[in-house]
Structure 1
Amino acid sequence: MAQTAAKVQTVIQPPVFTNPWSEGWRSFRSNKMAMAGLFMILLFIGAAIAAPYITTFDYKEQDLMGRLQAPGAEHWFGTDDLGRDIFTRIMYGARISLWVGFSSVMGSILIGTLLGIAAGYYGRWVDMLISRGFDILLAFPGILLAIAIVAALGPSLQNALLAIAVVNVPVFGRLVRAKVLSLKNEEYVTAARALGMRNGRIIMHHILPNCLGPVIVQGTLSIATAIIEAAALGFLGLGAQPPEPEWGKMLSDSRQFIATAPWTVIFPGLSIMLTVLGFNLMGDGLRDVLDPKMKN
């Protein structure tokens, strides 16, 4: 019996600790559509950064003798009605579209998160005041509200960025408010209050970190919306002003050449479509990673 007992060994496996970042990246990487979206985004970011090193043309350089040239060896995407190289303007235009998308959404996230946390955590008249403000902004169609703001402030890229940020504030505000309303009654928050932890510390250590997942997903999708809104404002002449190579403005300037020089419309339109598609695909992938309900 002693010899038999000696042979029996109880193997205790050590606990396995996984890094949530590496686990999330592994899950994201397994989503082929999300990776395709990330590739599209990185492609346009790389084009925006490397634009001065890839092309030898200046996006403002005009060549009236070579206007409306078809795509070829010298001008890969052809030229526009002023003889400017469309490929160069597409790459420099990526800087404007991505900058407007990221900057406006970051502003919306900052303001909307602060207002949403205040409304959801403190409630009462604070919630009523902030929520009614969100309702007023959401009562207007987003693009019409953006047009009204830019029309009041004057057409420029900075004012278009501000208008897009204002339009998206209630989106993040209501998202964060709903999340805070469900979090502030959790047991760990109640325990923190019982221990005498101040509201500011509870918000920073318990409420805000648990709101980041939905905010990141919504932020990625909102960048795509912001790029479309910036292109729409540029198309109407309310965004970036000439000679800035904004994709929406390029579409507007090329409307009359759709039949005779379709490349002047196709390439800016494809740039908008692929960038927006990339952010949408990546946002769907991030939702699958960050939303516990989507996990098996």
Structure 2
Amino acid sequence: MPKLEHSPLQPANPIEIEKKTSFLRLLWHNYKKNKLAVIGLGIILAFIILAVFAGLIAPEGINEQKTGERLLPPSSQYWLGTDDFGRDILSRILHGARLSLTVGFVAVIGSVIVGTLVGVIAGYYGKWIDALISRGFDILLAFPSILLAIAIVAVLGPSLQNALLAIAIINVPTFGRIVRSKVLGLKEEDYVEAARSIGMKNSRIIIYHILPNSMAPIIVQATLCVATAILEAAALGFLGLGAQAPDPEWGRMLSDSRTYLQQAPWTVFFPGIAIMLTVLGFNLIGDGLRDALDPKMKE
């Protein structure tokens, strides 16, 4: 009988694809059991959509000043009121979502890449390399994170980019220690020993065996760290070390409006609510992912 050729329309490895699909289905099945986590996902998806389409949704320009309409309370014309320059607060919050979410995601991605790389090297190779890297982590963790971020921005200069860099730096030890502790256990597993015995290079062992099995705690911690990064960016903006005027960053909006807290509380209330909901959403997602990725929770 003639040998059947592999059709290019068929997947090259249907077993692997089925495994990945089954994993994602099982992950979602476990995740949606946590109703609060589903609510958190909905909150973040809503903010992402608002941030992406802020230019279309925002009723006014973010820096469009109307001096005759300063500090107006929420109304049918200005749903969230106006600030001390007569700017529409709703428009500025929508555009501020872009800045806050960008800072959160970019800073955490940088922390994950650097922290994972350094943590894998420390945990896998051990000895003096591990000792040196671990002491570096201890030094960074010895400082309160926000004070370390303030010190870094003070040296580099106040700006949103420098605040982003500072937030990324202070979160590197968190990911580094998580990955290091995970790698210390994984490198003693039988399948890693078998890979070494057949002469597989360390780099291939790390890429194909160590990293894939270290992703669960990294994903959970990254989700939680996005919330922390947004909060830290808001704190730096509030102190005048992050985003600079007239950027509509939420922390900066709080700082600019604190003088009018009693006269026009809505100028502080709504940016604060935006920060609270975003941080809450990411924390709920992190809790849901932690439960979904816990082997004890799987059926």
TM-score class, shorter: over 0.9
1:208 aligns to 2:208 (yes or no): no
The structure 2 residue matched to 1:121, chosen from 120, 124, 128, is 124
RMSD of the TM alignment (CA)? 1.2
* Equivalent in 269, 273, 278 of residue 275 of structure 1: 278
CA distance in 2 between counterparts of 1:105 and 1:197 reads: 32
Classify the secondary structure of the residue corresponding to 2:290.
helix
Q: CA deviation at 1:56?
A: 2.9
Task: Measure how far apart 1:21 and its partner are.
Answer: 0.8
Alpha-carbon deviations, 1:40-64, whole Å to 9, x = none?
Answer: 0011111111111112310011111
Correspondence for 1:159? 162
Once the 2 structures are TM-superposed, how far is the Cα of residue 293 of structure 1 from its aligned partner? Answer: 3.4
- Does 1:217 find its partner at 2:220? yes
- Structure 1 counterpart of 2:66: 63
Show the counterpart of 1:249: 252
Percent identity over paired residues = 64
- Structure 1 length as normaliser, TM-score? 0.93
The one-character-per-residue Cα deviations of 1:169-193 (angstroms, maximum 9, x if unpaired) are 0000000000000000001101111
Match of 1:169 among 159, 172, 184: 172
Tell me if 1:105 matches 2:105.
Answer: no
Question: Deviation at 1:28?
Answer: 1.2
What is the CA–CA distance in structure 2 between the aligned matches of 1:289 and 1:30, rounded to whole Å? 9
Q: Per-residue deviation at 1:23?
A: 1.2
Distance in structure 1 (CA, Å) of the matches to 2:284 and 2:55:
29
Query: Could you tell me whether the CA contact under 8 Å between 2:30 and 2:297 is conserved in 1?
Result: no
Task: Select the residue among 216, 236, 245 that pairs with 1:233.
Answer: 236
Select 2:184's aligned residue among 178, 181, 191. Answer: 181
CA distance in 1, matches of 2:119, 2:282: 24
Matched with 2:86 is 83
Partner in structure 1 of residue 268 of structure 2:
265
Residues 231-274 of structure 1, C-alpha deviation per residue, up to 9 Å, x if partnerless?
00000000011110010011111111111111001100000000
1:238 maps to a residue whose letter is L
Structure 2: where are the runs of 5+ without partners?
1-17
Larger radius of gyration: 1
1:212 maps to amino acid: M
Q: Point out 4+ residue stretches in structure 1 off by more than 4 angstroms.
A: none
Name structure 1 gaps, 5 residues minimum.
1-15
How big is each residue's C-alpha offset from its partner over 1:191-247, in whole Å with a ceiling of 9 and x where there is no partner?
A: 111111110000001000001110000000000000000000000000011110010
For residue 278 of structure 1, give the secondary structure of its aligned residue in structure 2: helix
| In structure 2, distance between residues paired with 1:232 and 1:294 | 36
TM-score if structure 2 supplies the norm length? 0.92
* One-letter amino acid matched to 2:108: V
Per-residue CA distance 1:135-173 (angstroms, 9 max, x = gap): 110010000000000000000000000000000000000
Query: Measured at CA, do residues 247 and 147 of structure 1 come closer, stay the same or move farther in structure 2, by a change above 3 Å?
Result: same
Question: What residue is the counterpart of 1:290 in the other structure?
Answer: 293
Deviation at 1:85, TM superposition (A): 0.2
Choose the corresponding residue for 2:97, options 94, 97, 101.
Answer: 94
Paired residue type of 2:117: L
Q: How many residue pairs align between the two structures?
A: 281
The structure-2 alpha-carbon separation of the partners of 1:282 and 1:172, relative to structure 1 and needing over 3 Å to count, comes to same
Taking the aligned partners of 1:40 and 1:216, their CA distance within structure 2 comes to: 19
Instruction: Indicate yes or no: 2:201 matched with 1:198.
Output: yes
2: CA distance between counterparts of 1:284 and 1:239? 29
CA distance in 2, matches of 1:245, 1:55: 13
**d(CA) in 2 for partners of 1:293, 1:175:** 20
Residue 46 of structure 2 is aligned to residue 37 of structure 1: no
Q: Please say if 1:148 is aligned against 2:160.
A: no
Give the letter for the 1:216 counterpart.
I
Indicate the SS of the match to 1:169: helix
